[in-house]
Chains A and B, each alone.
Chain A
């Protein structure tokens, strides 16, 4: 079971955090800090797995962004590694180009969220607010909810997820 999912940049700023187990806020911050410390300085040749307390963190780095899943010690590491990649592919597909993700999550720069409005296609309108950045962030959470639920994999087909997001979009 996936305990939590973290997207962090190289500086350790958490861009997205999704917890499937209940943790105190202070504990969450501690976990995020520790996971960052664990993965940030690892050599690219090293394994993508680090033991973390009584669990295991499976991480993968894409440019300046670390995707990390915390899973049970008995889970299949290689499959979860593939899972991260699938998620990134879905995001990539969804936002039509990596640039947009770039803008939100800042693969390369430290400043974030303040950028010109992006022009992704299927972006759902979250609320009436005018910030595209918040929408994009919320959107990533919504995609994640179609991909993983209750700490388990829900859908492995990119097409199915993208179609589903399209349907939900129409309801807004």
Chain B
């Protein structure tokens, strides 16, 4: 034992830490201190427990790991005296939380303390339980807490009430046991117990319909009376806040009444009078008074309709909205969002004020106001409101532009009265904040443009003009480049002039200039440049005079360091040089994109749901791009509804497939992410369209050398099948993001070579002393259950005896641990232990989580265990 360190007082330690000049020095001091504390703990040093824990709390506060002190807390809690227990519980709440497995060990101590004869110790236990209780503890200790709700001392009753809230939040099934004791608390005279009892009842109403029904029938009147008493109570300095009597009790009572009145006319009726009284009598010049009014308005808005009260409430909000205090304006905006469903007309009256709030300097207010404006928009006011918002877009803060842009786009899409207005507004937004526009928004715009055949000329001219001033806005450039590729000839000839337009004089070479700028602009990304290349290919056929120049540009990019661009250039160059005969057919204008399909794709979440009738146009990016759908793939349930995935090359394979099938530009590149594939596919799709039948052989010809060598058979398979490759492509597409996802997770070998094994084994944990490997398998006919076989190998020269492995899983999984093959782990890797676990998934479609969960959690857990290795193994 190092006597020097165990003698360090807390103050000296703090001083030493403070004296450190660098972070490294500080770490060294902390490391030394931790070592000393560890030694002291191992020696079971009673005298220094307090000091050790106090030091640990300080070290924890500085952000260093302190998990080795957790056992110390448990020991202090288990000791007999109040002072020890107190600091033990304090440490427990600071150093531990409900997810740490050590917490299971504390359940027994908590149970004893909850039954302790000393009510102060009971109070400590309740406090700890309320703050860190896990679902398991909740189940084990609920009877004790329920009993304590009737304890003689009010301090215990109120703590027990709040503890019960935590318990029913963790395990809603337990709610019914608490209904009666909780309702009894509503009759309490003790202020603290009453306020906590009301909170408990409010939470019960949330989790249990029976509780709600019971309280509604039996206690609405009582609560109305209580509120009446509070409103009319004489001045009580103890509960007075800035001249407002007991605002906290007010607020909580109103909240519970809201729960009771919602959806029940009788209960709502019973509380009308008192709500009117609160709404009219409460003073509104203090924050506390406004808090009551705010809660009261919310209750009025939520309970069953009473015209008079609602007018009162809307008037209060109107007053709030014109208040000079920003906090009050903020809550007014917040509440008007709820009021809009009740009385849209009344809220519309405040439109001008709300629009001003969108321009407020306070981001919180702006955000609320924008949400509200969004709800206020309808067919009649969409034009002026959009104009206001777009005007403001020019001057708004950078960080607000994202939100604002998204909302404007959404409004424009939803309410646009005519196509030309839609295109105009979108172009304005793109020119102003194109970098904030989401991909799906400009994709939608392209679909609309493609469908508005009478506006092609107008749009491309407008885009050309916008490009001159806003060439740094990525999505504007993309749309412009796409339109120029498609309708470049219209730009030049002023085809389809509208009356509102000024004629422009543009030459062929001006147009090629634009595309070339896009291609060479350093700030624009790969997708844009790839689109620019395609536009050039299209223009080369439309503008024979510029053909040579375009060819030069394309040739120049054959040397591009970016594989994607290099490949496209090579292919396009070959089209221009060797395939003159098919070029014009190949680069024909895109067929009109199918709006309905696009909308379904955008809205739909499952890639498989989309029919394959449209040939090319169906393979829009959705399922592959959106990570929200892709990770839902049943990794461990492959046998269930997904045919065997074609190995790790699934993503590339899909890309090849689509690339081969659709366009002469497959997006097969080593660094390309699977998520990207979708975008590129769309890109190809939008630019090239379906190649005419006679060209397909040559297209394939161009491509065949660069196909992914891993999946030639699958590719051929798919090509030879006459039907569109829906099923297979889908399955592989779904499998692919999965692999990608897991690739990022850890060191495990995440490239399965075979289709047979459900998932490859991985090393869950490895340290200098212990290695754990997990193997996965499935029971035939029971796809929801996965067998995990853990293999433990001892790498130290000592034999581990009494070896126990524990595991925990998230709620939606069930874990069954079989006994291990032995509890003795021979030394130096001479043989190993195995233990089987069966994991059953109740929630279909989320199994992938299991793997990552197991992986991540086992790492944490084992990491933690590793620090105990020496102490627990030698014991």
* Chain A residues with CB under 8 A of B192: 154-157, 160
Within 8 A of A (CB), among B1-31: 9-11, 14-15, 18
- Please state if B94 and A78 are interface contacts (CB–CB under 8 Å): no
Per a CB cutoff under 8 Å, which of A45, A78, A125, A159 touches B291? A78
Flag whether A62 is at the interface (Cβ < 8 A).
Answer: no
A77 to B99, CA, bound (A): 29
Cα separation A159 to B291 with both chains bound (whole Å): 23
Interface hit among B53-61, B109-117, B708-716 = B53-61
Q: Which residues of B contact A54 (CB under 8 A)?
A: none
Chain B residue contacts of A131, Cβ below 8 A: 9-11, 14, 54
Nearest-neighbour CB distance to chain B for A29, whole angstroms, equals: 6
Select from chain B the residue with minimum beta-carbon distance to A46: B362
Q: A9-28: contact bitstring with B at CB < 8 Å (1 yes, 0 no)?
A: 00000100111101101000
Q: Are B155 and A156 in contact (CB under 8 A)?
A: no
Q: Are A134 and B127 in contact (CB under 8 A)?
A: no
Nearest CB on A from B379, distance (A): 30
Is A49 on the interface with B (CB-CB < 8 A)? yes
Q: How far is the CA of A171 from the CA of B119 in the complex (A)?
A: 12
A126 at the binding interface (Cβ < 8 Å): yes
| Residues from chain A with Cβ under 8 Å of B251 in the complex | 76, 79
Does the CB pair A47–B362 fall under 8 Å? yes
Q: Is the beta-carbon distance between B327 and A49 smaller than 8 angstroms?
A: yes
* Interface set, chain B 117-136, CB cutoff 8 A to A: 120, 126-127, 130-133
Bound state CA distance, A29 and B61, in angstroms? 10
Whether B568 sits at the interface, judged by CB under 8 Å, is no
A130-B10 CB under 8 A given contacts A23-B97, A150-B163? yes
A86 touching B241, Cβ below 8 Å: yes
Chain A residues with CB under 8 A of B334: 77
| Partner pick for B99 among A22, A83, A128, CB 8 A cutoff | A22
Asked if residues A49 and B364 are in contact (CB atoms below 8 Å), the reply is yes
A82 at the interface (CB under 8 A from B): yes
Is B51 an interface residue when CB atoms closer than 8 A count as contact? yes
A interface secondary structure, majority = mixed
Contacts of A168 in B (CB 8 A): 86, 120
Closest A residue by C-beta to B94: A141
A152 within 8 Å of B (CB atoms) = yes
Contact, CB under 8 Å: B10 / A155: no
- Bound together, the chains give a CA A102 to CA B255 distance in angstroms of 37
Could you say which interface size class chain A belongs to?
35 or more
Assess whether B745 is interfacial by the CB under 8 Å rule. Answer: no
| Bound Cα distance A18, B251 (Å) | 24
Chain B residues with CB under 8 A of A171 = 82-83, 120
Does residue B165 face the partner (Cβ distance < 8 Å to A)?
A: yes
The total of chain B residues at the interface (CB under 8 A) is: 74
Q: Which chain A residues in 104-126 approach chain B with CB under 8 Å?
A: 111, 113-114, 125-126
* Contact assessment for B14 and A113 in the assembled complex, using a CB-CB cutoff below 8 Å: yes
- Chain A residues within 8 Å of B83, by CB: 125, 127, 171-172
Residues from chain A with Cβ under 8 Å of B195 in the complex: 153, 155-156
Complex CA distance for A29 and B238, rounded to whole angstroms:
37
A50 within 8 A of B: yes
Closest chain B residue, CB of each to CB of A161: B192
Contacting residue for A149 out of B15, B50, B163, B326, CB 8 A: B163
Q: CB-CB < 8 A to B163: which residues of A?
A: 149-150
Complex Cα spacing A127 to B87, Å: 7
Q: How near does chain B come to A84, taking the closest CB pair, in angstroms?
A: 11
Closest to B89 in A: A145
> Which one, B11, B126, B133, B255, contacts A130 given CB within 8 A?
B11
A128 / chain B contacts, CB cutoff of 8 Å? 50-51
Are A154 and B159 in touch, CB under 8 angstroms?
yes
> Roughly how many angstroms separate A127 CA and B238 CA in the complex, as a whole number?
32
B90 x A138 contact (CB < 8 A) = yes
The prevalent SS among residues of B at the interface is: helix
Q: Which of A22, A51, A114, A164 contacts B367 (CB 8 A)?
A: A51
B120 and A82: CB pair below 8 A? no
A126→B331 contact, CB < 8 A: no
A159 cross-chain contacts in B, Cβ below 8 A: 238
Q: Which of A14, A79, A86, A172 contacts B61 (CB 8 A)?
A: A14
CB-defined contacts of A167 to chain B, threshold 8 Å? 120
Q: Taking the nearest CB of chain A, how far is it from the CB of B207, in angstroms? A: 13
Q: Is the CB of A43 within 8 A of B362?
A: yes
Q: Does B819 contact A (CB under 8 A)?
A: no
A134 with B291: CB separation less than 8 A: no
A25 touching B65, Cβ below 8 Å:
yes
> What's the Cα separation between A111 and B15 when bound, in Å?
11
Q: In the bound complex, how far is the Cα of B331 from the Cα of A48, in angstroms?
A: 11
Residues from chain B with a CB closer than 8 A to the CB of A81 are 287, 291, 327
Nearest-neighbour CB distance to chain B for A124, whole angstroms, equals 8
| Bound Cα distance A164, B124 (Å) | 12
- With A129-B9, A141-B90, A154-B192 as given contacts, are A49 and B330 in contact (CB-CB < 8 Å)? yes
CB-CB < 8 A to A14: which residues of B? Answer: 61
Q: Is the CB of B249 within 8 A of A156?
A: yes
Given known A-B contacts A128-B51, A149-B130, A154 and B162 have beta carbons under 8 A apart: yes
Pick the contact of A129 from B51, B133, B255, B298 — CB < 8 Å?
Answer: B51
* A133 interface residue (CB < 8 Å to B): yes
Q: What's the Cα separation between A146 and B195 when bound, in Å?
A: 14
Q: Are A152 and B50 in contact (CB under 8 A)?
A: no
Taking CB atoms, residues of chain B closer than 8 Å to A55 are: none
Does A158 count as interface, using CB distance less than 8 angstroms? yes
**Complex contact B50–A127 (CB within 8 A):** yes
A142 within 8 A of B: yes
Q: How far is the CA of A77 from the CA of B294 in the complex (A)?
A: 9
Given A129-B54, A171-B82, the answer on whether A157 and B238 have CB atoms closer than 8 Å is yes
Those of B78-94 within 8 Å (CB) of chain A? 82-83, 86-87, 90, 93-94
How far does the Cβ of B70 sit from chain A's closest Cβ, in whole Å? 12
Return 20 A-B CB contacts under 8 Å, by A number: A14-B61, A22-B98, A25-B63, A46-B365, A47-B329, A49-B330, A49-B364, A51-B364, A51-B367, A76-B298, A77-B331, A78-B287, A82-B247, A111-B18, A126-B50, A129-B50, A130-B11, A145-B127, A149-B126, A150-B165
Closest 7 CB pairs of A and B: A127-B50, A78-B291, A150-B130, A150-B166, A46-B362, A22-B97, A131-B10
Other than the given A23-B97, A76-B298, A172-B82, 18 more pairs (CB < 8 A) read: A46-B326, A47-B327, A47-B330, A48-B327, A50-B363, A77-B330, A78-B290, A78-B294, A82-B287, A126-B90, A129-B51, A130-B10, A142-B90, A152-B196, A153-B196, A153-B199, A157-B239, A160-B192
